[in-house]
Chain A
Amino acid sequence: MNAVLEIEDLRIGFGPLEAVRGIDLVVERGQTHCLVGESGCGKSVSALSVLRLLPKRARFSAARLAFEGNDIAGLGERGMARLRGDRMAMIFQEPMTSLNPAYTIGSQMIEVLRRHRGASRAAAVDRCIAMLERVGVTAPAMRLGQFPHQLSGGLRQRVMIATALLCEPALLIADEPTTALDVTVQAQFLRLLADIQRQMGLAVLLITHDLGVVARVADRVSVMYAGRIVEHGATGAVFAAPRHPYTRGLLASIPVPGKIPPGGRLGSIPGIVPRIGAGFAGCAFRARCAVAMPACAAPVPEHRLADGHRFACHLGPDGAWSGA
């Protein structure tokens, strides 16, 4: 069994809002699984729920939530606290949200090792320096004495990933880790992540808006829309032959030099994502879908193709009405 994270029928709600409406997702050892989709579709809350970091007022349920084969849905807060930052790590879009501006890089990194590993101070310092070196931070010993604001954006990003990897986690969840970076720094960061992944067999769940990033680093991709995964598959298969109209719309909306002439019109998806409450039925994309029919108000069938490629649409794999 190579699955590091297994999620079945995950549901999350806030008051009247059904934010996540039954998603299934597996991340395997050494693999990168990308989660994409329009703003507000539920990517971040799904990730937070795995680490049990949802706000208290959120409703949360899952048929199965397993980490390294063990059920963690029933694990208490103490058990989760032991996992977080140890076997499971998370990095966020803006490094300043996970680095405390009041403490030096060193005290924050050392604290992680002392909490999870009970390491001595001297051993912790050595390990921190080694990890900073490994992620390509120059003058690592000096960095331990610096505060977050004294580092450039690219260095902060490296410190954050070094901290996340200190305890050699099995799973890394990264939520928009490169959105704030310029292209050269982004490429450096992703290469670093790929190297570490290869060395440690790390499973990565990567949330991003950037379909260029997805194409280049993801093994599997899940496309989310209004709280559901509407399409999932191997990255090459999904990009080569997207089946769901929303996936097609997304891929048509990015400017690809050479495909769309400069100044030509980009494909775009009219309208906005609906907010979905209890009792909503049918396909959530139908109000914006160019091929929608009255029958799209009925429950949506899921189609399965080769190699785990699946999509949820009233139109079947052959593009014909599948008559649910």
Chain B
Amino acid sequence: MVGGMNHVIEAIGLSQVFRQRQGLFASARQVMAVDDLSFRVAEGSALGIVGESGCGKSTLARMLLGLLPASAGTLRIGGADLRGMDRRARARLIQPVFQDPMSSLNPRRRIGATIALPLRVQGTGRAECRRAVARMLEEVGLAPEIAARFPNQLSGGQRQRVAIARALIVNPRILICDEPTSALDVSVQAQILNLLMDLRARFKLTLVFISHNLAVVEHIADEVAVMYLGRFVEHSANAEIFAAPRHPYTRALLASVLTPEPGLGLPEMPLGEGSPDPTNIPPGCRFHPRCPLATELCRNQAPPRGAVECHFAASGAGA
């Protein structure tokens, strides 16, 4: 990363531990959902986060949004500690767009009122809110009369545009998108991605973009973090990760992507079948039980911290 750049997100030693009760009488187990993460996001850039289901992506998103206080560590947003920040100041800085627009929009509130809500919370008057809503609807490519409708009268893509309009109305500096297009079909997904790219350029937005779809992440992100059991096991520039993945898990992820090329068939994948258990993180390298390259070293010793957390990253073994 270039020195002197302004980092709007700075995480230092960020952790999130949940207690999860397995049964009525069993003692609670600890789920290490986010494990001692440190990273920075430069202003105006887009960080893509990918990783297996349950690896902690949404938990991290909720922490960044201030919806979930960190169990440990510090989070600085726009240069200020998130912990001491009041709700309104936080909302002006950072806003969410979630996967399922239907469940994140209040079904009984008209679209106009939904979009205006973050502004109302800031204490803005009605007339000013109405003007801002009209402007935002236009920004996201929706007709003005949509303001009078209810969520169930819109299509999935229209609802996601509403969620984006609501997030952007307070002119935040950061947008946290957690699977924003996963519930949409490909043609609508394309509309939403184009819209996000446009808005990002226009408003100098910083994006954190979580998705299972690696092609989408490759399309939209400047940097990519690959998450596995609560840690970023690889975090590099987009071009580097996709052209020369160095962590075996990143390679397995990329090998699993089904590009729309008929005749190639299904990829063979060297990953073991077992799915990781966040209540029981393996000793040594957390990926070793599924890693085709694992050695004695990997079973006993955690890999050094860094952009690629693998004992063999530097030597490029197995690449």
Contacts and interface: CB of A to CB of B under 8 A. Distances in A.
Interface string A216-255: 1110000000000000000110011000000001110111
A183 B256 contact: yes
A279 to B, nearest CB: 23
B219 interface: yes
A266 B190 contact: yes
Given A257-B242, A265-B197, A215 B262 contact: yes
A191 B212 contact: no
Interface stretch (A57-65, A121-129, A267-275, A300-308): A267-275
B264 A183 contact: no
Contacts of B53: 153, 181-182, 185
Contacts of A187: 255-256, 258, 266-267, 269
Contacts of A257: 215, 218-219, 242, 259
B291 interface: no
Contacts of B253: 183-184
A154 B258 contact: no
Contact of A263 (B219, B256, B259): B219
Interface in B193-212: 193-194, 197, 212
A188 interface: yes
Interface residues of B, number: 51
Given A182-B212, A215-B261, A250-B187, A255 B193 contact: yes
A269 B187 contact: yes
Nearest to A264: B219
A25 interface: no
A179 B256 CA distance: 14
Interface string B246-270: 0000001101111111111111010
Interface residues of A, number: 55
Contacts of B51: 182
A210 B258 contact: yes
A16 interface: no
B215 A253 contact: no
Interface of B: 51-54, 155-158, 182, 184-191, 193-194, 197, 212-216, 218-221, 238, 242, 252-253, 255-267, 269, 271, 273-275
Give 10 nearest A-B pairs by CB, closest first. A212-B258, A253-B190, A266-B190, A255-B219, A268-B190, A187-B256, A183-B256, A215-B260, A236-B262, A255-B215
A213 to B, nearest CB: 6
A214 B218 contact: no
B263 A236 contact: yes
A216 B158 contact: no
Nearest to A268: B190
A152 B186 CA distance: 27
Nearest to B141: A270
A260 interface: yes
Instruction: Count chain B CB atoms within 10 A of each CB in A215, A239, A273 and give the residue with the most.
Output: A215
A256 interface: yes
Contacts of A250: 186-187
Given A136-B273, A209-B185, 20 more contacts: A38-B185, A38-B188, A39-B185, A152-B275, A153-B53, A155-B275, A183-B213, A185-B53, A187-B269, A212-B257, A216-B262, A216-B265, A249-B187, A250-B187, A253-B190, A254-B190, A255-B219, A262-B238, A266-B219, A272-B155
